[in-house]
């Protein structure tokens, strides 16, 4: 009799556990965090159609185009980290934000193309420059300038003091900037301006 009672209790326990397991498997996905706001470059509204992106640990998490200077971005749950960095086009935004499930944030994004510019360095390289790469240490966003592939980006690509750049040269060249000499060799150079 005791064996049958124990068997009945175990069976009821197993049957009662089935719906719990089934419900856990059908749990709804974690809702995204909504970010919305305006995007400005050098204090002016960013151009129509420019894409705003959200990044976590160097990986793009979400993107949304600007419409009349504003964006609405739905950021899904990040795989790692909770702090998001943002970019307006290829330019890293100054703001960061914390991701929360189902959150909603008004976040105006700002960046400056001219912060702090040293465009004369690229000008001195003239036709000797093959390509320049830069990875923003805060956002992980890579940008590059290539006078053949994207010559229109010449005025947007800025060299900032203290930042590291990968510069590919066609031939050796001595560059003087702010009374400091830097010898660039043919091939790849890692340079901090």
| Mean pLDDT of all residues in 164-171 | 91
Residue 69 has pLDDT above 80, yes or no: yes
Residue 11 has pLDDT above 60, yes or no: no
| Mean pLDDT of all residues in 146-167 | 74
Q: Provide the pLDDT confidence category of residue 156 given band limits of 50, 70 and 90.
A: low
CA 116 – CA 182 distance, rounded (Å):
19
Residue 64 has pLDDT above 90, yes or no: yes
**pLDDT tens digits, 91-124:** 889 999 999 999 999 999 998 875 444 445 777 7
pLDDT score recorded for residue 117: 44
Q: Is 179 exposed, middle or buried (0-12, 13-18, 19+ CB in 10 A)?
A: exposed
- Both tokens assigned to 68: 């009349």
Is the Cβ–Cβ distance between 181 and 174 less than 8 Å?
yes
pLDDT score recorded for residue 86: 93
Q: Could you tell me the pTM of the whole model?
A: 0.49
- Both tokens assigned to 131: 């390509």
**pLDDT tens digits, 116-152:** 444 457 777 878 999 988 887 777 788 888 888 777 6
| Mean pLDDT of all residues in 163-168 | 88
Name the region of 43 (left: φ>0; alpha: ψ -120 to 50; beta: rest).
Answer: left
Where in the chain do CATH 2.60.40.1120 domains reside? 33-111
Q: What is the mean pLDDT of the chain?
A: 79
Q: Provide the pLDDT confidence category of residue 56 given band limits of 50, 70 and 90.
A: confident
Q: 33-111 in CATH: which number?
A: 2.60.40.1120
CA 183 – CA 105 distance, rounded (Å):
47
């Amino acid at each position: 009799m005791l064996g049958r009672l124990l068997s009945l209790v175990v069976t009821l326990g197993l049957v009662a556990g089935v719906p719990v397991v089934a419900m856990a498997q059908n749990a709804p996905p974690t809702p995204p965090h909504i970010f919305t706001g305006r995007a400005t470059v050098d204090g002016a509204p960013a151009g129509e159609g420019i894409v705003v992106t959200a990044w976590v640990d160097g990986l793009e998490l979400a993107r949304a185009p600007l419409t009349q200077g504003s964006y609405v971005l739905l950021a899904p749950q990040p795989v790692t980290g909770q702090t998001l960095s943002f970019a307006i086009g290829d330019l890293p935004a100054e703001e960061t934000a914390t991701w929360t499930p189902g959150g909603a944030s008004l976040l105006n994004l700002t960046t400056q193309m001219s912060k702090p510019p040293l465009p004369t360095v690229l000008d001195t390289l003239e036709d000797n420059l093959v390509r320049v790469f830069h990875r923003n240490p805060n956002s992980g966003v890579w940008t590059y300038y290539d006078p053949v592939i994207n010559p229109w980006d010449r005025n947007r690509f800025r060299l900032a003091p203290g930042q590291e750049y990968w510069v590919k040269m066609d031939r050796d060249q001595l560059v003087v900037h702010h009374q400091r000499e830097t010898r660039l060799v043919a091939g790849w150079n890692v340079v901090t301006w």
